Amino acid sequence: MNDDLSQRHSAFRFHGSWLEFARIAFPNLLLTIVTLGIYRFWATTREREYLWSKTDFIDERLEWTGKGMELFVGFIMAFLLIGLPLIVIQLISQGLIFRGEAILAAAMTLMMFLLLFYLTGVAYFRALRYRLSRTYWRGIRGGSDDPGFQYGVAYMWKSVMGWLPIFLGVPWSMISLWNDRWNAMSFGPHRFSATAEWKPLMKRYLLFYLVPFLVFIGAVVFGISMAASGGTPDALGSTGMAVGAIFAIVAVLSFYLFLPLAALAYYSKYFRLAVGGLRLHNLEFDFRARAPDWILFFLANMAIVICTLGIGYIFMPYRNWKFFVDHMEAYGEINIDDLTQSETVVAKHGEGLLDAFDVGAI
């Protein structure tokens, strides 16, 4: 490990050990199973308490103050207010199809889809807000006064705008939404500013975007050259067969190997640009992981999960957090006297219902 050299000057340091984490993760797994999954909200909370408390920012540990009960109550509310109505709507639309009212049923299904689409956007925003408001450093926390309802609308139209030009707008929509989210957040008295640009991301995106086309074009060219070489398929003989087999293997590999690799390369660039565009008062941020780091990280994760027959899955929160903190970097300075308490509201459960959608925030 070259941790010491590269991390000596990093503002973020992670001191956790996977053995300590195992002592949290295994009892969590057991309790989650015997409670039919209900304990998982407390399990998540305990894991975060550990991971946060083992993370240094400059000279003080982070603190996670979220509660399992908050997540649980939020889940119940989400089930009652969203899950149950969805089930009822589905039943009704099925009944409508039986009665031949297919157009009405389709309209209801569309409405349901749009509502879910909107709530997904709101949930992303709320998850980030929830995490910042429960993260303390030197007794100071983050948060936002924005409930995220407008963000939900932006999420809908920007996602659609990203898809419309044959999916070429995706990098723009991802960066633009990241900026929207973070520009609404603050830590202590300071507002984040997010000014990431999307244009530098296009080259990587095209790489990912073009893999399927390249494979397709390769197949067409191959087919034409085969046809041009004059042989009917059955006259090609064994060499033709062998070439065909190799080509088929390459085509399959491209899809199952190159496509994920290209996706990771794209995502690594996205994350680097997105974090690099972040600013908090006099602090600037940087994420140092490059595409090979992400690829190694992913392969190692897969190896761990497969070699442990799936049990290694419970270490994924640990590995994700460690990867994140190890590559996070901050420059600039903080004036401790200026860093006063956040004035943002702390959404209690009930009020902050959608805090419950604790989807991956960062």
Partner 1 sequence: MSAFFDAWHYDGKSAVRRKVEVQIIGAQFFLLETERRHGPFAFSDIEYVTHKDDADVYGLKGTDGWRLMLSGPVPTDLNAMLPARRNYGGWVDRLGFGKAAVAFTVASAAAVAVVLLSPQWLAPLIPSSVNEKLGDALVGDFGGRFCSTPAGDAALKKLVASLDANPDDLQVEVAKIDMINAVALPGGKVILFDGLVKQARSPDEVAGVLAHEIGHVREKHVMQALLRQMGLAVVLGGIDGNSGALVNNMLSMSYSRESEAEADAHSMKALGGANISPIGTASFFDRLSEMDGSARSKASDNGIAGYMSSHPLSRSRKDAFEKSIVKGKNYKPALTPAEWTELKTMCTQDRKAKSGFGFDFN
Binding-site member from 6, 17, 95, 214 for partner 1 (CB under 8 A):
95
Binding-site member from 13, 29, 65, 288 for partner 1 (CB under 8 A):
65
- Helical H runs in 142-201? 149-163, 170-183
User: What is the nearest approach in angstroms of partner 1 to the Cβ of residue 27?
Assistant: 6
Alpha-carbon distance of 65 to 45, in angstroms, equals 8
By the 8 A CB rule, do 142 and 135 touch? yes
- 351: contact with partner 1 by CB under 8 A: no
Alpha-carbon distance of 64 to 62, in angstroms, equals 7
Count of residues that bind partner 1 according to CB under 8 A: 51
Binding-site member from 7, 13, 29, 61 for partner 1 (CB under 8 A):
61
User: What is the nearest approach in angstroms of partner 1 to the Cβ of residue 13?
Assistant: 12
Sole residue written with tokens 């994924």 = 316
Residues 6+ apart with CB under 8 A from 14: 54, 55, 56, 321, 322, 325, 326
- 101: contact with partner 1 by CB under 8 A: yes
By the 8 A CB rule, do 108 and 153 touch? no
Stretch that binds partner 1, among 24-32, 114-122, 199-207, 317-325 (CB under 8 A): 24-32
Stretch that binds partner 1, among 116-124, 246-254, 303-311, 340-348 (CB under 8 A): 340-348
The distance of Cα 38 from the centroid of its chain, to the nearest Å, equals: 23
DSSP, res 344: S
- 39: contact with partner 1 by CB under 8 A: yes
- For partner 1, the binding residues in 176-235 under the rule CB under 8 A are 188
Stretch that binds partner 1, among 64-72, 155-163, 233-241, 254-262 (CB under 8 A): 64-72
By the 8 A CB rule, do 57 and 11 touch? yes
Q: Is 189 helix (H, G, I), strand (E, B) or coil?
A: coil
Q: Is 318 helix (H, G, I), strand (E, B) or coil?
A: helix
Q: Is 142 helix (H, G, I), strand (E, B) or coil?
A: strand
- 68: contact with partner 1 by CB under 8 A: yes
Stretch that binds partner 1, among 83-91, 199-207, 240-248, 285-293 (CB under 8 A): 83-91
- For partner 1, the binding residues in 127-146 under the rule CB under 8 A are 136-141
Q: Which residues bind partner 1 (CB under 8 A)?
A: 15, 27, 30-31, 34-40, 42, 45-46, 49, 53-54, 60-61, 63-65, 68, 79, 83, 87, 91-92, 94-95, 97-102, 136-141, 188, 334, 336-337, 339-342, 346
